[in-house]
Amino acid sequence: MVLESEALISIFDSAVMLGDTVTESTRTFSHRPFKLEQHIDRLFKSLKVTRIDPGCDAQQMLRITLDVLDANRSCMTQEDDCWLVHNISRGRSIAGADPTIQRSHATVMIFTQPLDLRSWARFYEVGCHAVTAMSRIIPPQSLDARIKNRSRMAYTLAEIEVKLVDPQAQGIILDVNGFVAENKGGNIFAITNGTLRTPRSTNCLEGVSRDTVLELAHQLAIPIAEADLLPYDLYTADELFFTSTPYCILPATKFNGLPVGDGKIGPITRKLLAAWSELVGVDIAAQAIDQLHRAATDY
């Protein structure tokens, strides 16, 4: 382990040269990692498919990761939590005819970072504006969405388009057939007539947060449907929300300028968020809102 100021990566690393990197991002609640084993399991599936040898097995990766977290616990305030991030590249890349050869040990990067929730905080109270991008998601025939990777250019360009409509908007990306796919870093759920609906995992990442919502919905006896969703299904939904590692559940009360349902955060969204907060022993919305208030006071 090294200090951030001492961490180095070669300019010839495949992460830099090719964006040839798989990744996972976990968060903590009360400084305890949430579903870290599931994140590492998914990481190793991505490593297998991309044929990157990390130089250790999943159990060793878990132990190293927990050591990194322990070394950084003192950097967190009592009220806040952190990201726990894995980036693993193929290592040194030499320009030539075959970029697939792993010419060195993999570059394994594991770090913590303060979890800054301020930019999402107000959406827990009023909901966000969900906006569809003009660009489409990379089709699974080209890159399977289940391989979580650091090649984020397509997501970034889509988000730029969304922000042109509304600087505070949260993006929704469609697939090449016009079906709802995913957000730049999360999944999408719509609630219609009491049924929780989300896109199939053929065109979006099988998010750990997505799975958590499905588990909570099952426990709460909320009907679930994985389906092909079109923008029409979001326009006419009663409730709409995003899921992702940092914010868990982020309500959306407007879609492409039109109110979702009655334009307020709906009861099922609130019920699922409360259940998640109970699961982890942290009031998820209150933590983000408190962080925003503390920052304003400090300023």
CATH 3.30.470.10, the chain: domain bounds: 4-115
Q: How far is CA 98 from CA 51, 93, 118, in A?
A: 14, 10, 44
CATH number of 120-287: 3.20.10.10
Tens-digit pLDDT profile for residues 133-187: 999 999 999 999 999 999 999 999 999 999 999 999 999 999 999 999 999 999 9
Tens-digit pLDDT profile for residues 15-32: 999 999 999 999 999 999
CA dist 15 and 105 (Å) reads 13
Cβ contact 185:155 at 8 Å: yes
Averaged pLDDT score across all residues of the chain: 95
Pick the closest to residue 234 from 197, 273, 270 (CA basis): 197
Q: How far is CA 196 from CA 92, 189, 191, 227, 258, in A?
A: 45, 7, 5, 10, 20
Mean pLDDT, residues 101-126 taken together? 94
pLDDT at 299 over 70: no
pLDDT at 297 over 80: no
Q: How much is the pLDDT for 118?
A: 96
Q: How much is the pLDDT for 101?
A: 78
For the chain, the maximum distance between any two Cα atoms, rounded to a whole number of angstroms, is 58
Pick the closest to residue 81 from 274, 200, 268, 245 (CA basis): 245
Pick the closest to residue 92 from 78, 83, 82, 102 (CA basis): 102
Q: How much is the pLDDT for 298?
A: 62
pLDDT at 96 over 80: no
The predicted model scores a pTM of: 0.94
Cβ contact 231:180 at 8 Å: yes
CATH 3.20.10.10, the chain: domain bounds: 120-287
In terms of CATH architecture, what is 4-115?
A: 2-Layer Sandwich (3.30)
